Structure 1
């Protein structure tokens, strides 16, 4: 009699370790950011969000390189992103500046969390359908980076966040709304990373890394702040005539308008 467990048709269940380990590390970084902000260590909280971004960028690439993609990994990554790039930056900025604004403060933080969740849900439904050259709406890691870099820069200049709570609340809300907008953001997937570059380009990269190491908070704020602003600029330059659906709402007509303009170009 053949043992059922010895049957060649039996499917072995389990999850891939390496990519999910990286996802867990990103989730831990997001949770650490929340705990650090509750303890008043806002610089560590901001840095932890950027560390979460690094792990978020690695897990998918490692999964593709090692051929360990799975539905479980994709779902787990989305759940981790909600914490690291939705809840964590919202609570960090709330504890840093918005808790003095009362109801307006926590509502601003909630708007960011809700927009991050909606952004991730929309992204998951558009995989394989949307134009790979662009993101529809500001990506949640980039939005989280704007908030984290703002807090990090304020801490570096010894600014009391509660003195500028209203401004940080506006930044939080606007950044959240950019995530659920229809503005087009470059995905940088067209860049050929394996191609050859001049020696001068390598030297420039070294100088950039040196500058980032010297003033990381300010440089990261400038980079991600400009990226957040690039969406409206790219959209306005791409469409023939700016309409409401290019900003928010049903994007069916938006895609058609974008494609028409691209063909003309």
Structure 2
């Protein structure tokens, strides 16, 4: 799960996306690129669904909704680049969708599942996450053109959302009441939020390109999918924890090497 930078290319129109078409009447009509924005809308809907599901106590469904939003978010930027339909409108729409799917939704889902009985401390932890997610997205939009594309500065918001969602998914799938581990949930939620606005570098994997690959790579992907389907919440939570931990350890190593 990663942030996308759908920047406008020189060849594309720079209006409300904005593509202007002149019909026989001579009138000019404005529109948006449909395909990539459909994926963005799907991610937005998945985030909205997660909130509604959590309100109805369907925490597994809510967590899966956030995971689906992450998958769709990872696709919209790639589709835009492949079809040469990148745009300023798409970038702004994607950012707003991310704020709902990876900011508001995980915070509310975590609060409903395991933070409500902490009172003010519970909603404070949830709000820290939501506010940090919004700040993370705003900072990414500002710095996207000037940072090293190989790394994200701070934990990517889809990964932070995935960490929170898979924790809820794992607990709910085991019949666990999140309020029994409320302080752990608060630590994970607030910690994920603070990591999003930290200066810790996380690998973006953007240098990897989908194309012709050796057969063993395809076999590895198949094996990876099989492992995930053995126990999706446990495996995905483990992957998220490893990703977060590796980023922290690498940052500590760089600090020690610099000193």
Smaller-chain TM-score range? 0.7 to 0.9
Partner of residue 229 from structure 1, selected from 223, 226, 245? 245
Equivalent residues, number: 237
Cα deviation digits, residues 44-76 of structure 1 (max 9, x gap):
000000110111111111111112112111111
Selected match of 2:179 from 162, 166, 169: 162
Runs of 4+ in structure 1 deviating by more than 6 angstroms, as ranges, are: 4-8
Task: State which of 119, 136, 147 in structure 2 corresponds to 1:130.
Answer: 147
The alignment partner of 2:97 has SS state of helix
Q: Deviations along 1:143-172, whole A, 9 cap, x unmatched?
A: 000000001111122211111111100110
Residue aligned with 2:227, SS: helix
CA change 1:192–1:28 in 2 (3 A) is closer
* 1:205-224 matched pairs, under 5 angstroms: 205-224=221-240
How far the C-alpha of 1:78 sits from its partner, in A, is 0.5
- Superposition RMSD on alpha carbons, in Å? 1.8
The DSSP-based 3-state class of the residue aligned with 1:22 is: helix
Alignment of structure 1 residues 91-110 onto 2, 5 Å: 91-110=108-127
1:73-222 alignment, distance < 5 Å: 73-197=90-214, 199-222=215-238
TM-score of the superposed pair, with normalisation by structure 1? 0.85
SS of equivalent residue, structure 2 residue 31: coil
Larger Rg computed on CA atoms:
1
Aligned with 1:57 (options 62, 74, 99):
74
Greater shift, 103-112 or 230-239, is seen at 230-239
Structure 1 position 68 matched with structure 2 position 68: no
Match of 2:42 among 21, 25, 29: 25
Normalised by the size of structure 2, how large is the TM-score? 0.87
The runs of 5 or more residues in structure 1 that have no matched partner are 243-265
Distance, in Å, in 2 between the alignment partners of 1:223 and 1:98 is 24
Q: Which runs of 5+ in 2 are unaligned?
A: 1-21
Contact 1:137–1:231 at 8 Å: present in 2 too? no
* Cα deviations by residue, 1:122-151 (Å, 9 ceiling, x for unpaired): 000012210011000000000000000001
Residues 31 and 84 in structure 1, CA contact (< 8 A), matched pair in contact too: yes
C-alpha spacing 1:59/1:132, structure 2 compared with 1 (3 Å):
same
Does the CA contact (< 8 Å) of 1:46 and 1:148 recur in 2?
yes
